[in-house]
């Protein structure tokens, strides 16, 4: 009997305020046409000034917990992927733990920028498979609007806020094939030599401020397409399956052109790719669980579907997770 980490439920929270491309036209020298053509983004959610990442994460975590049918006391911990914590410390995860009334267990944040959710999921899976936890809440939460330079048109039109997550639960299964429910593989990578392609120009030990996002978009785009396709192929090979066996690709939502190029490279119809970038923008670590939750709620993703999650972001970091939902 092998232990698998099964997704018991998903949950999400998106801030009320919606910022359109037309709104952005009034803020910087840009156009709806440019943003739509270059990124596929039309609208995005922006948190209120007094709403922190922990607030967003708590609402998403509560939603996932309620949908799981479990009580807070049945969780063994919280892992939050974020690059925009409320404070340098303590972590967002301990705030979520306290707010949801989770009485015990581990709580920490993961910093892998846009790959954060895949990294956090991989860690949670390792804890569960090793028997160190039975049920974990894994959240991706970001207030990217707090580190965007709202005068920089090359980045402010792309990034956005939101939070979403999953409750993972240990389930024993005699079936060790890819037909069994749960996480079947995770692959994580980083190349720190490429850290200057996407970064913030500040931090606690350098400037004493959080800094603003700087990105060499064209370069990042190139790496995104090649790394995402490579890591997806690796997941397919390791599990002895082909792209045809995957029901849904649930990628990090940075740019519709990256999603289309990745789908093309994998010879996968775009209809099998969950696309939310048009109305979520780039929510960094929150983007994959937000896309997953949306597709679960609207009935596209059903129990038993084979999902391939993939991401690439600052670091550069990238990774994938193959999951039977």
Residue pair 149/108 in contact (Cβ under 8 Å)? The answer is no
Active site residues: 114, 252, 282
Q: Which is nearer to ligand UT7, 211 or 217 (CB)?
A: 217
Helix (H) or strand (E) holding 124: helix 116-129
Q: Which of 17, 42, 153, 272 binds ligand UT7 (CB under 6 A)?
A: 153
282 binds ligand UT7 (CB under 6 A): yes
214 binds ligand UT7 (CB under 6 A): no
Contacting residue, 220, 250, 275, 288, with ligand UT7 by CB under 6 A: 220
Instruction: Please report where in the chains the tokens 């060790």 appear, as a residue.
Output: 176
Q: If binding is defined by CB under 6 A, does position 83 make contact with ligand UT7?
A: no
DSSP assignment string, 193-233: GGGGGEEES--TTTTSS---EEE-HHHHHHHHHHHHHHHHH
- Interface with ligand UT7 in residues 251-270 (CB under 6 A): 254-255, 258
For residue 181, what are its two tokens? 């429910």
Of residues 182 and 315, the one with the C-beta less far from ligand UT7: 315
Q: Does 211 bind ligand UT7 (CB under 6 A)?
A: no
Dihedral pair phi/psi, residue 185, rounded to 5°? -160, 150
φ, ψ of residue 173 in degrees (nearest 5) = -145, 140
| Interface with ligand UT7, residue 157, by CB under 6 A | yes
With CB atoms as reference, the residue minimizing the distance to ligand UT7 is 217
DSSP string, 73-101: GG--EEEEE-SS-SSSSS-HHHHHHHHHT
115 counts as binding ligand UT7 under rule CB under 6 A: no
Which one of residues 34, 108, 189, 199 is an interface residue with ligand UT7 (CB under 6 A)?
A: 34
Of positions 221, 239, 265, 278, contacts ligand UT7 by CB under 6 A: 221
Percentages helix, strand, coil for the chain (3-state, rounded to 5) are 40, 30, 35
If binding is defined by CB under 6 A, does position 81 make contact with ligand UT7? no
Q: Which is nearer to ligand UT7, 105 or 314 (CB)?
A: 314
Residue 108 interacts with ligand UT7 (CB under 6 A): yes or no: no
Instruction: Assess 194 for contact with ligand UT7 (CB under 6 A).
Output: no
Closest by Cα among 113, 105, 103 to 141: 113
Nearer to ligand UT7, 5 or 287 (CB): 287
CA angle 155, 156, 159 (to 5 degrees): 85
Contact between 42 and ligand UT7 (CB under 6 A)?
A: no
Region from 28-36, 59-67, 70-78, 199-207 binding ligand UT7, contact rule CB under 6 A:
28-36
Choose between 85 and 281: whose C-beta lies nearer to ligand UT7. 281
Please state at what angle helix 256-265 crosses helix 32-39, rounded to 10 degrees. 20
CA–CA separation, 43 vs 187, rounded Å?
A: 31
Torsion angles phi and psi, residue 101, rounded to 5: 70, 35
Distance CA 207, CA 214 (A): 15
Q: Does 114 bind ligand UT7 (CB under 6 A)?
A: yes
Residues that bind ligand UT7 (CB under 6 A): 30, 34-35, 38-39, 114, 153-154, 157, 217-218, 220-221, 224, 254-255, 258, 282, 312-313
């Amino acid at each position: 009997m092998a232990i698998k980490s099964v997704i018991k439920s998903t949950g999400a929270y998106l801030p009320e305020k919606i910022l359109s491309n037309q709104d952005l036209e009034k803020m910087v020298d840009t156009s709806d046409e440019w943003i739509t053509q270059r990124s596929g983004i039309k609208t995005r959610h922006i948190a209120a000034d007094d709403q922190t990442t922990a607030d967003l994460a708590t609402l998403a975590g509560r939603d996932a917990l309620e949908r799981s049918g479990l009580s807070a006391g049945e969780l063994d911990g919280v892992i939050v992927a974020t690059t925009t914590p409320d404070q340098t410390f303590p972590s967002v995860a301990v705030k979520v733990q306290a707010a949801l009334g989770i009485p015990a267990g581990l709580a920490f944040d993961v910093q892998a920028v846009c790959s954060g959710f895949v990294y956090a999921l991989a860690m949670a899976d390792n804890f569960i498979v090793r028997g160190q936890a039975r049920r974990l809440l894994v959240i991706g939460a970001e207030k990217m609007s707090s580190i965007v330079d709202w005068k920089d048109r090359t980045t402010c039109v792309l990034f956005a806020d939101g939070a979403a997550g999953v409750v993972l639960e240990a389930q024993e299964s005699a079936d060790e094939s890819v037909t069994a429910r749960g996480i079947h593989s995770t692959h994580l990578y980083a190349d720190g030599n490429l850290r200057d392609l996407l970064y913030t120009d500040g931090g606690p030990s350098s400037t004493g401020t959080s800094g603003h996002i700087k990105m060499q978009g064209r370069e990042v785009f190139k790496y995104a397409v090649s790394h995402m396709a490579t890591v997806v192929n690796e997941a397919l090979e390791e599990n002895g399956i082909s792209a045809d066996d995957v029901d849904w690709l649930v990628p990090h939502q940075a740019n519709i052109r990256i999603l289309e190029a990745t789908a093309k490279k994998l010879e996968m119809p775009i209809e099998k790719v969950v696309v939310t970038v048009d109305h979520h923008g780039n929510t960094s670590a929150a983007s994959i669980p937000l896309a997953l939750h949306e597709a679960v709620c609207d009935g596209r993703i059903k129990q038993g579907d084979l999902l391939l999650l993939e991401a690439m972001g600052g670091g550069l970091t990238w990774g994938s997770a193959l999951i039977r939902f």
